[in-house]
Amino acid sequence: MNLVRSLRLGTVVLVAVAARPGPTAGQDLGPLVAQCVTSGAGAARCTEAALALKVLKGGVTLLNAGGSDVVGTASTLGMRLGSVPRISFNVRLVTARLKAPDVLSGDAPADENSFYAKSVQLQAVVGVFNGLSIAPTVGGFGSLDLMASASLAFLPTDEGFEESRGSYGIGARVGILRESFTLPGVTVSVMHRDGGTVRVGDIATGDPTELAWDMRSTSLRATVGKTLFGLGLLAGYGSDWSVGDVSLSVNDSGTGSTGTAASDDFTVRRNVYFGGASMTFLITQISIEVGWADAFDSIPGRLGGFDTGTNSYFGTLGFRITF
């Protein structure tokens, strides 16, 4: 890939970060609730189902994305010698605490259901451009890595999930600064993931609520970090948003009817904050990260039950080898 093409792709990534959707874009539960009520279920039960769909969709997106897009480093990989790329292989385990209304209880408002879920991710990263040196000891501007990943989210069946789900992802990471003796590394990245359909509950088997959504999502990350004597520290901020098909069904014993609703562009978006530490041994590295995602907006008029105003926390354990 030549210099012009590399810078062009890097510019696309930076523009995508600047133009990301606002905090509330596409997240209104009103249309789903209205569809559900119109088809026969009560407003309270429909509201709880739509809220659970939004919260769980956001939780699974966080579980797949975690914190930094490349574990343990805030610098792009760059090249080794001449046109020979540097390559990194990573594996990481993400654990997140997911919380949602307990819609399988049939209550409205529903109490909080809190549980832990895990995902494992394999990733390959290739450095394709070293970037530009804009001053002595200040280099790596516009450097570029390409990323590909495969992950499996272990979703607990005892919490109503149908089964675990896999996904794959592709993305790019653009360097703002490459880490040097005096300066930290700074990168901006974008990762797009896609997978199957996640299902919670099953009306046909007697559950009062059934939810389904696509795993398609996009994650943006800005990361800064510095390594000294093998010990690295990093911190970052980003956004996760998932857009795609969703559906819900509510078997309402109060009305004696089943309400349904669906959308092909329902969006869930949250900001993510994270920090971590790593230890490097020659070409290998072990790292840990912890972080949280923003709470969800409250619903006017909804009293009691699941508290939407709490953050979602996660932790990551990673291993990386670089050639």
Over residues 202-221, the pLDDT tens digits come to 999 999 999 999 999 999 99
Over residues 143-154, the pLDDT tens digits come to 999 999 999 999
**pLDDT classification of 74: cutoffs 50, 70, 90:** very high
User: Which of 158 and 137 is assigned the larger pLDDT?
Assistant: 158
User: pTM of the full predicted structure?
Assistant: 0.90
53 pLDDT higher than 60: yes
Model pLDDT, residue 137 = 83
* Alpha-helical regions (H) of 42-172: 43-65
Length of the chain: 323
Strand ranges (E), 204-311? 209-214, 217-228, 231-252, 257-281, 284-293
Q: How far apart are CA 283 and CA 237, in angstroms?
A: 27
Q: How far apart are CA 113 and CA 158, in angstroms?
A: 12
**pLDDT classification of 27: cutoffs 50, 70, 90:** confident
The CA-based dihedral angle spanning residues 33, 20, 123, 177, taken in that order and rounded to the nearest 10 degrees: -160
Mean pLDDT across 231-256: 95
11 pLDDT higher than 80: no
Over residues 165-207, the pLDDT tens digits come to 999 999 999 999 999 988 999 999 999 999 999 999 999 999 9
Angle formed at CA 128 by CA 178 and CA 228, multiple of 5 degrees = 25
**pLDDT classification of 255: cutoffs 50, 70, 90:** confident
Q: How far apart are CA 152 and CA 117, in angstroms?
A: 11
Residues 6+ apart with CB under 8 A from 173: 13, 69, 70, 76, 125, 144, 145, 147, 187, 188, 189
**pLDDT classification of 8: cutoffs 50, 70, 90:** very low
**pLDDT classification of 76: cutoffs 50, 70, 90:** very high
Q: How far apart are CA 101 and CA 185, in angstroms?
A: 41
Q: Which helix (H) or strand (E) holds 36?
A: helix 30-38
Model pLDDT, residue 24 = 39
